[in-house]
A and B are shown apart, each in its own frame.
Chain A
Amino acid sequence: MSKLILTVDDSASMRMLLKTSLTAQGFRIEGANDGVHGLERMHEVKPDLLITDINMPKMDGFELIEAVRGVPEFRGTPILVLSTEFSDEKKARAREAGATGWITKPFDATKLGAAIRRVCP
């Protein structure tokens, strides 16, 4: 069974871009449009990997990661941050929240695929 990835991003185009490029690489993709929705979807789909944006309305990526890590079931789920931000401050915060890795937008589909396989072979 191919890996199931939940992508959380408030931009529909970004979600679709992720879906298109990752589906082509054999992943199954689910999407959510903000942190609150993302957390709901986590419980619903129980993905193998979570990819989340940081800047989102309602519940941002940091809060989402913290919330996800707070659920025992998801403690081992790899979480990648996909963001245009790249300050060390933000990355440290993401790490503290419990992110597994950080990918800077814009992403290259192939490299993203490789990065995903690295944390979620």
Chain B
Amino acid sequence: MSAGDDGLDEIQAIFFEECAEGLAIAEEGLSAMANGDVSADVIAGVFRAVHSIKGGSGAFGHAALLAFSHRFENVLDEVRAGRIAPTPAVTKVMLGAFDILSDHVAAAQGNSDAPADEAMLEALDAILKGEGAAAEGGAADPAPAPAVEDSAPVAEADEFGFVPVAAGVEDFDPFGFEPVAIDLEDLSPAEQQPWTVRFGPSRAALANGSEPLFIVRELETMGGRIVAVDSSALPGLRDLDPEDSYLVWTIELPGTVDEQDIRECFDFVSPDSVIDIARAAAEVAEVAVEAAVADAPPSPAAPIAPAAVAAAPAATPAPRPAATGEARAAAEPASQTIRVDLSKLDQLLNLVGELVIHGSILSDRLSPADQERVELPELSRLTRQIQDNVMSLRAQPIRQAFSRVPRMLRDLMAETGKKVVLETSGETTEVDKGVLEKIGDPLTHMIRNAVDHGIESPEERIAAGKPAEGTIHLSAEQKGARIIVRVADDGRGINRERVRAKAVEKGIISADAQLSDEEIDSLICAPGFSTAETISNISGRGVGMDVVRSNVEALGGRVEIHSTPGEGTTFIMALPLTLAILDGMIVRLGQQRFVLPLTNVIETVQPEPGQVKPTSPNSEVIELRGSYLPVKRVGQIFGIGANDRRSPEESLVIIVESEAAGHVGLMVDTIENRREVVIKSLEDNLHPIRGLGGATILGDGTIGLILDIDALVASTNHQSKYAMKGMAA
């Protein structure tokens, strides 16, 4: 291809994106089928997804993927046509075939070796044979005739001459023109005898946009010349239909011309046309063709319909344009889509962030009256709208993350022998692409954990009076600025005694610690904790719920666990809608401003004298409604304003919630305001800094550091640890 391989690589990359989308759609559909939804739409969706993968795989030369998707598609096609019933057994095989298909896609991308698919191909073939035979032999199926024809897609010449029949995919001729269907086998053409070609385009050939003249011209370029025009079919002028065709040309070509070349000229010509190609001596074939032509005029009522419309355009345009109008009306809501490189959206989001920042710079600098005069509020409103729109561009349904789960569950069931039914809801909840990319792993661990530790074996479940099949409900919903993802199982619940014992054993808690049920439950997210008594194949891989928690927290999210013994456990991930914008509280410490994520903030306290008490030279507590919470001086942690030891009464204490230390008070000089800030990563130009979640540019153009509350409160209060190294310190 002259386009160059670079271009092809790029297109191929898009193809693989489409594969991923197609796989997600197929899996969703197959799962729906497995759950009993075998509606035509669902099946058609799966078919189309696999079909598209097949189409592209051929174009990009992925032979193994092409071959497998073709065989898979054959089965889907039969199911779609109603010739094979989507029984649970059939659906199960197709789910297996889906897994192999995914592996084939991964292999085509070079991510893995091609999967062993022989067994699956046999299973698919068995469905085709077994079920197909059952349908034929069985019920009075209204579809038998086309079925027979369709099940033998290869071999026969296309009797329409309508263009190419590709043979089985395995030996796909990329442009497999099949010879026009004229029986010439019996003829023994004398070499070098000139060719005589008779060509009489049918009415349908004209109606479908063929131009006979082009074919005659093409034959002429091969050395052909028109020797006769048969106009005997021409009616009287009164009956002449300008849309119809009455002429038959006879063209002679040199005998040296390859027969195939001549036939190719007629590839697109309507099958009911007169097409007769023969060596000069052979007359036999003509008869057969003429016979076919004789049939042509009366019969093809249907194909002529469009031509009839145009023949009398004034009289009959109504029905067709109406149909067109309908189509156009349908087109209105059917929005067009374009593909945009994610980095461009990132860039756009950054620019909008700048716009927001500069908007706040303006409002900082202008008096309220001036703001009104220059219509700043209107500018702010528009900016906000642009921001919302850009955010929505990056929003993707969470379905993409959920779509990995069914296969994983199947694998887990096979490994553990447990039976689990997956229910999902809220798949259409939209979440920022950046968040979406990062919740896959935590989700995987939560599901593994639920199957491994939550759901009991079928025997155990039956003994407990539960159905043998466990249920995992996976759901997503948006709550304010958060996305809540839940993984709920109906298993045995958390064994708190064992968790507690384990935590004591591992030195995570002391033996006499008084813990609430919730606190015990949350221990399974403690670093290094694992309750599995034997390191199982699934969960005990050195990563556990502590990794889930730290990953989710790194996203600015939180993990909660609710468990009821004997009834089940629910893991809840609360995630930010976006990674790019944060609702923050701007606080001041000395000369510097910091941003506290508002999600961590519980309340703000203006301490009364004596409300903050030292408990040791390095630690303080605040008394709040009868209980004592540790207080940390942020300035001290960062080594800011160390000389200016304000009294607590001159400061503010912000009560924050942290995973590691529960509620903690952070002492700051003052609170400036609350606003959304655009998160700028420190990694972009530097490296991550513990205790900081990033930075932002404030309204006056200076930088505010975003605090990572959990990392801060988890630290001991040694000021050296986070001491500012800058010149201001």
Asked if A100 and B210 make an inter-chain contact with CB atoms under 8 angstroms apart, the answer reads yes
Which chain A residues lie closer than 8 Å to B61 at the CB level?
106
Residues of B within 8 A of A91 (CB): 158, 160, 162-163, 165
Q: How far is the CA of A103 from the CA of B215 in the complex (A)?
A: 18
Take A20-B8, A112-B175 as given contacts and tell me if A59 and B208 are in contact as well, using a CB distance cutoff of 8 Å.
Answer: no
Q: Is B171 an interface residue (CB 8 A)?
A: no
Residues of A within 8 A of B369 (CB): none
Question: Are A106's CB and B58's CB within 8 A?
Answer: yes
Partner of B1, one of A57, A66, A104, A109: A109
Could you tell me the distance between the alpha carbons of A66 and B305 in the complex, rounded to whole angstroms? Answer: 10
Q: Does B18 contact A (CB under 8 A)?
A: yes
Stretch at the interface among B187-195, B281-289, B323-331, B664-672: B323-331
From B2, B146, B214, contact of A89 by CB (8 A): B146
In the assembled complex, B174 has its CB within 8 A of some CB on chain A:
yes
Interface-side segment among B267-275, B446-454, B568-576 = B267-275
**B207: which A residues are within 8 A, CB to CB?**
69, 75, 98
Task: Fill in one digit per residue for B83-116: 1 if any A CB lies within 8 Å of its CB, else 0.
Answer: 0000000000000000000000000000000000
Please, which residue of chain A has its CB at the minimum distance from the CB of B45? A57
B218 contacts A by Cβ under 8 Å: yes
In the docked arrangement, what's the CA distance between A69 and B320, Å? 9
Task: Give residues of chain A (15-35) contacting chain B, Cβ–Cβ below 8 Å.
Answer: 16-17, 20-21, 23-25, 33-35
Q: Which of B1-35 contact A (CB under 8 A)?
A: 1-3, 7-8, 10-12, 14-15, 18
A100 to B174, CA, bound (A): 19
Q: Does the CB pair B160–A92 fall under 8 Å?
A: yes
Chain B nearest CB, measured from A8 CB (Å): 12
- B56 A37 Cβ-Cβ under 8 A: no
Cβ contact within 8 Å between A57 and B48: yes
- Interface hits, A58-91 → B, CB 8 Å: 58-59, 63, 66-67, 69-72, 75-80, 83-89, 91
Chain B residue with Cβ nearest A49? B209
B265 within 8 A of A: yes
Q: Which of B307-315, B404-412, B517-525 contacts A (4 or more CB under 8 A)?
A: B307-315
* Distance to closest chain A CB from B112 (angstroms): 21
B417 CB within 8 Å of chain A: no
Residue among A70, A72, A89, A96 making CB contact with B303, cutoff 8 Å: A96
Given the known interface contacts A21-B3, A115-B175, the answer about A99 and B51 at a Cβ–Cβ threshold of 8 Å is no
> B160 touching A84 by the CB < 8 A rule?
no
List the A side residues contacting B150 at CB < 8 Å.
87-89
Are A118 and B218 in touch, CB under 8 angstroms? yes
Instruction: Tell me the residues in window 95-118 of chain A with beta carbons closer than 8 Å to chain B beta carbons.
Output: 95-96, 98-109, 111-112, 115, 118
Q: Nearest A residue to B16 by beta-carbon distance?
A: A13
CA distance A105 to B156 in the complex (A): 19
Interface size class, chain A: 35 or more
Interface residues of B in 130-152 (CB under 8 A from A): 146, 149-150
Does B594 belong to the interface (CB within 8 Å)?
no
Residue of B12, B56, B160, B313 ringed by the most chain A CB atoms within 10 A: B56
Verify B59–A77 contact, CB threshold 8 A.
no
Which residues of chain B come closer than 8 Å to A58, judged between CB atoms?
330, 334
Q: List B residues 255-295 near A (Cβ within 8 Å).
A: 264-265, 267-268, 270-271
Q: How many angstroms between the C-alpha atoms of A20 and B209 in the bound complex?
A: 25
Q: Which residue of A lies closest to B214 (CB)?
A: A121
Identify which of residues 400-423 in chain B touch chain A, using a CB-to-CB cut-off of 8 Å: none
Say how far B163's CB is from chain A's closest CB, in angstroms.
4
Known: A24-B2, A71-B320. A106 touches B331 (CB 8 A): no
User: From A92, which residue of chain B is reached at the shortest CB distance?
Assistant: B160
Chain A residues contacting B175 (CB-CB under 8 Å) are 103-104, 107-108, 111-112, 115
Q: Which residues of A contact B217 (CB under 8 A)?
A: 121
**B615 adjacent to chain A (CB < 8 Å):** no
Q: Are B3 and A84 in contact (CB under 8 A)?
A: no
Q: Contacts of B14 on A, CB cut-off 8 Å? A: 12-13, 16
Q: Which of A56, A67, A92, A112 contacts B327 (CB 8 A)?
A: A67
Residue ID in chain B nearest A83 by CB atoms: B55
B625 at the interface (CB under 8 A from A): no
Is B444 at the interface (CB under 8 A from chain A)?
Answer: no
Residue contacts A-B, CB under 8 angstroms, 29 given: A10-B48, A10-B52, A14-B55, A21-B1, A24-B3, A33-B337, A36-B327, A36-B330, A36-B334, A58-B334, A59-B327, A66-B306, A70-B324, A71-B324, A77-B209, A84-B51, A84-B58, A85-B51, A86-B165, A88-B149, A88-B153, A88-B160, A92-B160, A94-B162, A99-B208, A104-B172, A112-B175, A115-B267, A118-B267
| A residues adjacent to B (C-beta < 8 A) | 10-14, 16-17, 20-21, 23-25, 33-37, 39-40, 53, 55-59, 63, 66-67, 69-72, 75-80, 83-89, 91-92, 94-96, 98-109, 111-112, 115, 118-119, 121
Known contacts A75-B209, A115-B267; 18 further A-B pairs (Cβ under 8 A): A11-B52, A12-B14, A12-B18, A20-B3, A33-B337, A67-B323, A69-B306, A78-B209, A78-B210, A84-B55, A84-B70, A86-B164, A95-B162, A95-B303, A101-B162, A103-B164, A106-B172, A121-B217
